[in-house]
Amino acid sequence: MPIPVDKLTDPAVRAFVTALNSHDRAAFRAALTADATMADDGADRDLEEWTDREIFATRGHLDVEAQKGGGRDLVARYRNDTWGEMRTQWHFVVEDGKVARFETGQA
């Protein structure tokens, strides 16, 4: 049973997941610091290119199964139109109430 997004512990992570699931680019960008970075499967990626390809152009969606580390470490089912659904892990670094870095990969 997924954890409802409004029950995610960390407010910055909650804003990130809410924006991702609603495909709201403006809200997603607002959830990130100006210099935010990310990695996928251990390799740094271009944040704008990756989020466009993996989230916005392909209707990405995150169903959180578990959270720990104050809500900054998630295990979730992630799906998009390119890859289908997979079990993933997410780690967030939060600075000043916004996501400064996120790392994702298969769980």
Domains of the chain: total: 1
Helix (H/G/I), strand (E/B), else coil: 8: coil
Asked if 81 and 58 touch (Cβ cutoff 8 Å), the reply is yes
- How many whole angstroms separate alpha carbon 93 and alpha carbon 22? 22
pLDDT value at position 1? 84
Q: How far apart, in whole angstroms, are the C-alpha atoms of residue 17 and residue 11?
A: 10
CATH number at residue 38: 3.10.450.50
- Domain ranges, residue 71: 5-106
Output the six-digit token pair for 92.
């967030």
Give the model confidence (pLDDT) of 31-79 as tens digits.
999 999 999 999 999 999 999 999 999 999 999 999 999 999 999 999 9
**Mind listing the pLDDT tens digit for each residue in 6-27?**
999 999 999 999 999 999 999 9
Closest CA to 10 of 89, 67, 78: 67
